[in-house]
Amino acid sequence: MSGKRVSHRNGNSPDYNIVLLGELGVGKSALTVKYITRRFIMEYDPNIEDTYTKHEDIDGTEMCIHVMDTYDKEDSDPLRYLRWADGFMVVYGITSRQSFDKAREYLESVTQYLKANSKDSPVALVGNKIDLERYRQISKVEGNTLAQEFESLFFETTAAEEFEYVEDVFHGIIHEIQREKGDRHVNFQPLFISEEKFHAAQRRPKSPRAGPDKKEDKGPTKKNSSSFKLFNKSFKIFN
């Protein structure tokens, strides 16, 4: 994109909506909060569904990213996120076969909706918790095969390690959303956080954990006051 800014009808930064779907406990909240705050937080209230906002400047393009961390009950209406989302992240834990089966169900319902509504929003299958390699139940090949079946992007990542592992996933889907909306015209190769890259990084000395990461972060922005709820809870913060 070489620093060129995307112009929009009203001159404002574009807004992109990303929804996270998946079984309880796969790390939807952990990934959302890591992306927004760069921190790994251990405990969440599993019954909360919320939307968080982050300002980004990617390749010289300013944008506003809204992330919905869903809590899907039996009787809740999936249209609330299906209509809202510009891009979907279907998350499973690599240590849980059950969450992988659930991810397939989400992929089926999302792709069915998109097809029925002639929409082409990008979908990413995301295998989380690769820091727990020793408990892995879903191989990378199996994840990749499922993603290919649904013509979706595929990533493996962890919310418990470096911020970049999570950022890569979000930026990957943001690039695809931009491309789908005609805001980006370059050939983008989906980023993979490979086990090799992850383990190589594990062997390197880690950057200091405390405090914010290197890049200036404008922090969470109030959308409907939800972003600020984060800081009122007694979370355990690990980095």
- Chain positions contacting ligand GTP, by CB under 6 A: 22, 24-30, 42, 44, 46, 71, 128-129, 131-132, 158-160
The nearer residue to ligand GTP, 92 or 113, going by C-beta atoms, is 92
Instruction: Give the span between the Cα atoms of 80 and 68, in whole angstroms.
Output: 10
Q: In angstroms, give the least distance from the CB of 118 to ligand GTP.
A: 30
The nearer residue to ligand GTP, 31 or 174, going by C-beta atoms, is 31
The nearer residue to ligand GTP, 132 or 191, going by C-beta atoms, is 132
Q: In angstroms, give the least distance from the CB of 156 to ligand GTP.
A: 10
Q: In angstroms, give the least distance from the CB of 81 to ligand GTP.
A: 14
Instruction: Give the span between the Cα atoms of 97 and 115, in whole angstroms.
Output: 27
Residue whose entry in the numeric block shows the structure tokens 């961390």: 69
Instruction: Give the span between the Cα atoms of 155 and 68, in whole angstroms.
Output: 19
* The dihedral sign for the CA sequence 52, 107, 78, 175: positive
The nearer residue to ligand GTP, 1 or 201, going by C-beta atoms, is 201
Residue closest to 149 by CA, chosen among 69, 90, 78, 86: 90
Helix (H) or strand (E) holding 8: none
Vertex 128: Cα angle to 74 and 186 (nearest 5) = 105
Residue nearest to ligand GTP (CB): 27
Q: In angstroms, give the least distance from the CB of 229 to ligand GTP.
A: 14
Instruction: Give the span between the Cα atoms of 22 and 86, in whole angstroms.
Output: 17
Exposed e or buried b per residue across 174-192, where buried means at least 16 C-beta atoms within 10 angstroms of its C-beta:
bbbbbeeeebbeeeeebbb
Q: In angstroms, give the least distance from the CB of 40 to ligand GTP.
A: 7
The nearer residue to ligand GTP, 180 or 195, going by C-beta atoms, is 195
The nearer residue to ligand GTP, 24 or 200, going by C-beta atoms, is 24
Q: In angstroms, give the least distance from the CB of 20 to ligand GTP.
A: 8
Write the DSSP symbol of residue 116: H
